[in-house]
Amino acid sequence: MRIEGTRSFAAPREQVWDALVDPQLLGEFLPGLESLKVKDETHWSAVMRLPMSPISLDLDFELRERSRPAHALLSAKGKRLGASADVQTNFDLSEAAAGTKMDWSADVELGGMLGRLAPAMRPVAQRQAEKF
């Protein structure tokens, strides 16, 4: 499933970019985060409880593309107890009159028992991404 959106920030692009690729800062905003372990600036792992679900997944994150201050691509893969998720998300930042505009998208593949719930999870995933 693909989800996408646009968001504006009242801050310079460099500051927004730095915040969006900082695993410690991201961890404070990830929905359902149970634990976070930073390996290095481009790799970290987390245990996250999925929205509207009793399922927690062990996820490995990798910051795969970095082009400061304009673009980044982040992947997350994980599984637990017959459920799996593979997420590719990216953002593009551009200057705006009041600061920075971010266009983002995420491609989410759910497997196992989550794959059967994917159609119902789409609006939940969109809301969670917009809230994040």
- pTM exceeds 0.75, yes or no: yes
**Better-predicted residue by pLDDT, 123 or 88:** 88
pLDDT (mean) for 81-98: 90
Contacts of 57 (CB under 8 A, 6+ apart): 47, 48, 50, 78, 79, 80, 83, 84, 85
Is the CA virtual torsion 5, 10, 13, 17 positive or negative? negative
Q: Which residues pair with 60 in a beta bridge?
A: 45, 77
**Better-predicted residue by pLDDT, 132 or 63:** 63
